[in-house]
Amino acid sequence: MRILHVIDSFSPASGGPPEAVRQLVRASRAAGAQVEAVCLDRPQVEFLSDVGCPVHALGQSFVGGYAFSPRLWRWLRANAGRFDGMVMHGAWTFPGSALRSAARCAHRPYGIFVHGALDPWFKRQYPLKHAKKLLYWPMQYAVLRDAAAVFFTTPAERDQARTSFRPNDWKSVVAPLGIMEEELAGHDPARQVEEFYWALPALRGRRFLLFLGRIHEKKGCDLLIEAFARVAPAAPDVHLVMAGPDQAGLGAKLEMRAGQLGVREKVHWPGMIGGPVKWGALRACDAFVLPSHQENFGVSVAEALAAGRPVLLSRAVNIWPEIANDGVGLAEEDTLDGVVRLLERWFGLPPAERAAMAARARSCYFKRFSMGRTVAVINEAFGG
């Protein structure tokens, strides 16, 4: 199979989709596919060096967040015929429409991972933006309707997507994401933990919970700060690490709030971390925490499990039932009371039970979040 992945940007600051594409690229190549990617990043940016396949970086030509790019339109028209299938990552932007047009002209199939973009949470949280999306829906719907497959990472994401807009007649395919085992294979865990402590020396010898993601209201970061402050007196030796990019400037407000709540010294803000530092953080933490208001999957959850750590989730993270059923984490509602209960339940567990959750984590990862199965689903959608 010759596969093309299309994405606006590979920047790690964009959240989960760029990492999902990297993992899909590696898994596809491991299965013998020829893979390329096209994006609107500048060719010289450093984060393109580890994608794992040839990347056609066309440079940014954005109109707001719409990512309008005549260069992408021309490139796809000229190259679509070289591929057995093409995969768009994301929705509501020009590249999806450009891919649909090029695929139809070249008589090639394409699929689209919407990565949570059709979740009804956005409709409830941002009604004005939803009204604007209704005007654009005929164009976005055409991209979904004509795709060989609209890929959803969980059945919950698939079912919820049909409640946001009408018409909604497309071919839904569930394709769970994950990470490649090679992300951990061949690395010294102790060395990775040391890299983390070199980056954050204040955490050496301390227990901590880890949030790893964008510092954004959707991720429930404010709830986590408030809840941590409430439970901190019952767990005086535990700190909280809030790691991730802060594009919206929310981090400064939350840091100030942590000070008002008396936990400023126990909450750490290292910014975006990656590579050995990230894996060291995952290996060293007591548990990974993700109290999101909306999360179609959460690649970082799979990473935490692969590193052998339990996960504490809101029930708005669509894979929470699998986590609970496998006994590798806890889940509560995405409210302040819910996140307080989540942390109280975790700290209330006997140490032996917390250790048992950690011991089961990697088995859950291997059973549920293997990228090889995802590649097989994509190839099948394209007739491979």
The two tokens of residue 298 are 């959460």
User: Do 219 and 337 belong together in one domain?
Assistant: yes
CA distance linking residue 145 with residue 142, whole number of Å: 5
pLDDT at 63: 64
Do 174 and 236 lie in one domain? The reply is: no
- Cβ atoms < 10 Å from Cβ of 131: 10
> Tokens 């909604």 — which residue?
168
Which region among 37-51, 100-114, 184-198, 224-238 has the lowest average model confidence (pLDDT)?
A: 184-198
Q: Let me know whether 53 and 156 are in one domain.
A: yes
Q: For 339-348, what is the mean pLDDT?
A: 97
DSSP 218: G
- Quick check: 279 pLDDT over 80? yes
Q: Are residues 164 and 198 in the same domain?
A: no
Q: What is the pLDDT of residues 73-128, one digit of tens each?
A: 999 999 999 999 999 999 999 999 999 999 999 999 999 999 989 989 888 888 99
Same structural domain, 157 and 259: no
What pLDDT is stored for residue 176 in this prediction?
86
Together in a domain, 213 and 326:
yes
For the sheet with 238-243, list strands across it.
Answer: 267-271, 238-243, 207-212, 287-290, 311-314, 329-332
Q: Whole domain around residue 80: which residue ranges?
A: 2-178+370-381
CA distances from 26 to 31, 135, 182, 275 (A): 9, 37, 9, 16
Residue 29 half-sphere exposure toward CB, CA atoms < 13 A: 16
Q: How many domains does the chain have?
A: 2
Q: Is the pLDDT of residue 297 over 90?
A: no
Q: Tokens in use for 188?
A: 């010294």
Averaged pLDDT, 278-296: 95
Q: What is the pTM of this model?
A: 0.84
* Spatial separation of the C-alpha atoms in residues 54 and 129, rounded to whole Å: 35
**Is 93 in the same domain as 166?**
yes
The side-by-side arrangement of strands in the sheet containing 172-174 is: 55-57, 34-39, 2-7, 85-89, 110-113, 149-152, 172-174
Co-location of 34 and 128 in the same domain:
yes
Same domain, 162 and 189: no
Same domain for 195 and 278, yes or no, is yes
149-191 pLDDT, tens digit each? 999 998 999 999 999 999 999 999 999 888 876 666 667 999 9
CATH of the domain at 51: 3.40.50.2000
- The reply to whether 201 and 343 lie within a common domain is yes
Q: Are residues 337 and 207 in the same domain?
A: yes
3-class secondary-structure state, position 147: coil
Q: Which two tokens stand for residue 198?
A: 């070199």
Give the strand pairing for 55-57 and 85-89: unpaired
